[in-house]
Amino acid sequence: MASYHFYEPQHGHGLAHDPFNAIIAPRPIGWISTRSKKGAFNLAPYSFFNALNYTPPIIGFSSVGDKDSLKNASDTGEFCWNLVSKHLVEAMNETSKPLPRGESEFEAAGLEWAPGNVVDAPRVKASLVSMECQVTDIVQLKGAAGEAVNSWFIMGEVVGVHIDKSLIEDGVYNTLKGNPVMRGGGPGDYFGISEDNFFELLRPK
């Protein structure tokens, strides 16, 4: 017979580390690049990120706290998402370091930037995939009782997509070739993908 560890989050989890983001894992990384109204560049990874809609394509990330990405996206109405492949994981980690407002994580991590084709937000030049986005909505999150939470969900319509042509085979994007890195739980758990854990499962007709 199964035995379960049960807890109510408001009373604590009773474990060595909060299991919440380890259970909902692995998650794609929202490596978000923005430009401030004064022209300063910002680049930061967000572990609460995902795709939200097909047509129009909409993606979103959650900012815990009033951070530069939130402020810049709110002020300019634009941001870019950049794929974190294995070869960029160390640079991505560097961009998670807190810097004084206005200092560029691109420079701190030794990353080159490239301009967007549709939006003015910069993108990571070395990233194999980037998506240019225009903000559609910013929502401050609330708890079940209606109280405001110190987190904001930023959503954006994808208005431009850059894909390295090496990742496209016979007109199909090859996810495995992109070698994406995903966030797990704990202080530093990350995951990759490989041919060994790939399988195909078609929807029933």
Q: Is 18 within the bounds of a domain? A: no
Domain assignment of residue 5, yes or no:
no
Question: Residue length, the chain?
Answer: 205
In a domain, 82, yes or no: yes
Statement: residue 186 has pLDDT above 90:
no
Q: Is residue 12 part of a domain?
A: no
Give the CATH number of the domain where residue 85 resides.
2.30.110.10
Helix or strand or coil: residue 158?
Answer: strand
Q: Structural domain tally of the chain? A: 1
Asked if residue 70 is part of any domain, the answer here is yes
pLDDT tens figures, 94-149: 999 988 877 899 999 999 999 999 999 999 999 999 999 999 999 999 999 999 99
Closest to 158 measured CA to CA, from 48, 82, 89, 75: 82
8 A C-beta contact, residue 174 and residue 199: no
What does the alpha-carbon distance between residue 98 and residue 88 come to, in Å, rounded to a whole number? Answer: 18
Token output for 34: 């923005």
Q: Is residue 198 one of the residues assigned to a domain? A: no
pLDDT of residue 100: 82
Q: Which pTM was predicted?
A: 0.95
Round to whole Å and give the CA distance between 101 and 38.
12
Domain coverage including residue 92: 26-189
Per-residue confidence at 158, pLDDT binned at 50, 70, 90? very high
Q: Tell me which residue has tokens 């998650």.
A: 27
Distance CA 68, CA 33 (A): 10
In a domain, 45, yes or no: yes
User: Does 50 reside within a domain?
Assistant: yes
The pLDDT mean for the chain works out to 95
pLDDT in tens, 162-175: 999 999 999 999 99
Q: How confident is the model at residue 1 (pLDDT cuts 50, 70, 90)?
A: confident
Share of the chain above pLDDT 70, in %: 100
For the chain, the first-to-last Cα distance in angstroms comes to 36
Q: What phi-psi label fits residue 65: left (phi over 0), alpha (psi between -120 and 50 degrees) or beta?
A: left
